[in-house]
Structure 1
Amino acid sequence: MVSQRILSFALVLSLAGSLFGLTHTAMAAEAPECAPSATLDTRIEAVLAKADRPAKQRANDANRLSETRFVLDHVKPGDHVLDLGAGGGYASYLLSAAVCSGSVDSQNPQKWDVDFKALPAREEMAAARPNIHLVQSDFDKVPMPATPYDVIFIGTIYHDTYNEAGHDAVTMDKTLLATLKPGGLVILTDHRTADGVGAAATDTLHRIDKATVLADFKAAGFELVEDNDSLANPADDHTKNVFDSSIRGHTDRMALVFRRPLH
């Protein structure tokens, strides 16, 4: 028979656990970016202000502000998000705060984690942010999540997928489609080439033709729901490598939103 003392102790633990859960929930709700009435400006300011973000990433905030605004305008608290080709985790940090009680799967190919030495910083990020989970996979072999994604973010790396051995864009995009819930979104930004270049400059200039991206996603079964010009730069002549100091951070970029059809 269970003693009265054990029952009393269990009750205390249960009450304490409930209180902690309520307190934790209340604290999350009090975060400016998580408040139901938070404006986009409030959310962006709060997300960028997080003290645990690496200084090297903070230095990029001004150049990436337009992209951050575009992305967070399509992400909400509670979302389950995949950050595809996360690199060092700049967007993963921002998404982690923006989804509040949600979660972020931060994906890199093994080559990026090992050869480009991205893994240590990513492991540090995941330790600092419990709602970030690291995924290491090929772009076309992203594991099926237990809960479908609400959003997939592909930030200026879609062209890089073309440089992987055996790449098939439509196959990859169909894999991504399967990981999304019906109505789920893909938010994509990338550096543009001149019209008509297709995928010929993905490795040389690190750019891709917008028409190629649109065709890929249409063939995979996605619907285009937004073609935004907030990242456009008409002064970019599309002939320079995106890392050229004269254009870096100011390239002409596409900003697209695709949706998995509801049916």
Structure 2
Amino acid sequence: MKTLRALGLSLLLATTALAVTAHEVDPKIAEAAFAASDRPAAQVERDAVRKAEVAFILHHVKSGDRVLDMGAGQGYMSYLLSSAVGPTGTVYVQNPQGWVDYYKMAGALDEMKAKRPNVQVVVAPFTAIPAPLKSYDVIVSSMIYHDTYNEKGQDALAMNKALFGQLKSGGLYIIVDHHAPAGSGTTATNTTHRIDKKIVIDDLNKAGFLLVDDEDILSHPEDKRDLNVFDPAVRGKTDRFVLVFKKP
């Protein structure tokens, strides 16, 4: 598979053909998603450090898709996915109740629902996300997989098996997260908010998913993987992995 090296949005979308993508992506779709006038200003400010990640994810989403945005927070990725799937698609914006309460997300989520009719808000634990009426086409976990290990009652195998059952055959599960030192397992998930990539791959393989792409488009070799991801020295510049899994 070709590895996406350039971090520029236009180059990512215009020059790369991904082997796991079965459709052509119009670069204007991503451009329109970023340019949407109803996006909160605080989210627009984050585009500078997340465009490469978003461009990659939107490359795997098409109009009409049903997409689960796991641990979506106040919806940074959800707004962009909403634009990409269009009025015939649906974005399921999931957060645990504890996150909604602690981070006071309810107002932002209500605002997004009012602005975007193709958004459905799902408040549920990671291990008990309700099944959609129709299977998901794509599941997105953007820099929160490590957090699932910090939730009370976490069972990675149960969570991923449930998601496996909710994803259509041939559907994709895209995971972006912060590298922890190799061999560190899950020891950093609640300290520096990182996770060993091998743990993620093993988790998904045990649940039946196949790894079809392992990208280094968010590589930052200068990151020593030892600082908290919110430390100003590395925030927005952490060494991150991008994994794409497929349900056979």
Could you say whether these structures have the same fold, taking a TM-score greater than 0.5 normalized by the shorter chain as the test?
yes
Q: Does 1:184 align with 2:176?
A: no
Which residue among 237, 240, 243 is the counterpart of 1:253? 240
Number of the residue aligned with 1:43:
29
Match of 2:73 among 87, 94, 100: 87
Q: CA offset at residue 136 of structure 1?
A: 0.5
SS of residue matched to 1:154: strand
> 1:43-74 CA deviation, whole Å, 9 max, x = no partner?
21111000000000000001000111110011
Distance 2:157 2:218 in 1: 25
Counterpart of 1:223 in structure 2 is 210
Q: Please, which of 74, 96, 101 is the counterpart of residue 109 of structure 1? A: 96
Is structure 2 residue 50 aligned with structure 1 residue 64? yes
**1:40–1:72 Cα contact (<8 Å) kept:** no
Whole-angstrom CA distance in 1 between matches of 2:66 and 2:234: 34
Residues 141, 58 of structure 1: alpha-carbon distance in 2 compared, 3 angstrom cutoff: same
- Give CA deviations for 1:131-164 in whole Å, capped at 9, x if unaligned: 0000010001010110000000000000000001
Could you tell me how far 1:118 is from its partner in structure 2? Answer: 1.1
Measure how far apart 1:175 and its partner are: 0.8
Give the RMSD, CA atoms, in angstroms. Answer: 1.1
User: Which runs of 5 or more residues in structure 2 are unaligned?
Assistant: 1-22
SS of residue in 2 equivalent to 1:227: strand
What residue is the counterpart of 1:122 in the other structure?
109
- Note the C-alpha offset of 1:41: 2.7
Q: For 2:157 and 2:52, how far apart are their aligned partners in 1?
A: 28
**Structure 2 contact 25–59 (Cα < 8 Å) conserved:** no
Tell me how many residue pairs correspond in the alignment: 225
Q: 1:81·1:150 contact (CA, 8 Å) conserved in 2? A: yes
Query: Which letter does structure 1 place at the counterpart of 2:232?
Result: S
Q: What's the counterpart of residue 153 of structure 2?
A: 166
5+ residue gaps in structure 1? 1-36
Percent of aligned pairs with the same residue?
51
- Whose helix fraction is larger, Structure 1's or Structure 2's? 1
Q: Which structure is larger by alpha-carbon Rg, 1 or 2?
A: 1
> Structure 2: which amino acid aligns with 1:194?
P
**Partners of 2:101 and 2:30 in 1: CA distance:** 31
Shift of 1:38: 7.7
Note if 1:137 corresponds to 2:92: no
Give, as a single letter, the amino acid of the residue that structure 1 aligns with 2:64.
G
* Higher relative contact order (Cα pairs below 8 Å, separated by 6+ residues): 2
1:227-260 alpha-carbon deviations (Å, 9 max, x no partner): 0111111111000000000000010001010011
Residue deviations 1:14-38, cap 9 Å, x none?
A: xxxxxxxxxxxxxxxxxxxxxxx98
The whole-number CA distance in structure 1 between the counterparts of 2:220 and 2:185 is 19
Give the 3-state SS of the residue equivalent to 2:168 in structure 1. Answer: strand
SS at match of 2:113: helix
The CA distance in 2 between the partners of 1:179 and 1:72, in whole Å, is: 20
TM-score normalised by the chain length of structure 2: 0.89
Inter-CA distance 187–113: structure 2 relative to 1 (3 Å threshold): same
Structure 1 residue 76: deviation in Å? 0.8
Does residue 1:200 correspond to 2:187, yes or no? yes
Amino acid at match of 1:259: K
Structure 1 counterpart of 2:27, which letter?
D
